[in-house]
């Protein structure tokens, strides 16, 4: 068994306005994000299936060309290799999950140790 206190996990900031704490397992990454208002997630895709749960705030996502605003309490599933981008319309707290685990986030974390 592994247990974590989220506030004690080292913060990474892979892009301006995004501060995240990551938990990695063999098959899964869980990312706890604090996102500043007006921060932009550039258009991208990855081999991981992703869920995005907006805990607080409003997050605008464009997924495969469809733009939608997600509010606190809403969750979306983004399929592997599906193009997506986003913008925080307000300060946001978001929990993302990725399967398989995000190797790039693991490498970023390891580079900060």
Domain ranges of the chain: 9-112
- pLDDT value, residue 111: 63
- What's the count of helices (H) and strands (E) in the chain, helices before strands? 1, 10
CATH number, domain 9-112: 2.60.120.10
Q: What share of the chain is helix, strand, coil (3-state, %, to 5)?
A: 10, 55, 35
pLDDT digits (tens, 9 = 90+) for 64-85: 999 999 999 999 999 999 999 9
The model's pTM is 0.93
Q: What is the DSSP letter of 73?
A: T
């Amino acid at each position: 068994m592994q247990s974590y206190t989220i506030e004690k996990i080292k913060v990474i900031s892979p892009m301006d306005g995004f501060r995240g704490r990551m938990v990695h397992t063999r098959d899964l990454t869980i990312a706890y994000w604090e996102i500043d208002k007006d921060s932009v997630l550039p258009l991208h895709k990855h081999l991981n299936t992703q869920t995005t749960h907006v805990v607080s705030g409003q997050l605008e996502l464009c997924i495969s060309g469809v733009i939608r605003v997600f509010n606190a309490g809403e969750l979306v599933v983004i399929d592997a290799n599906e193009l997506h981008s986003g913008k925080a319309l307000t300060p946001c707290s978001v929990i993302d999950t990725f399967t398989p685990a995000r190797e790039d986030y693991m490498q970023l974390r390891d580079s900060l140790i």
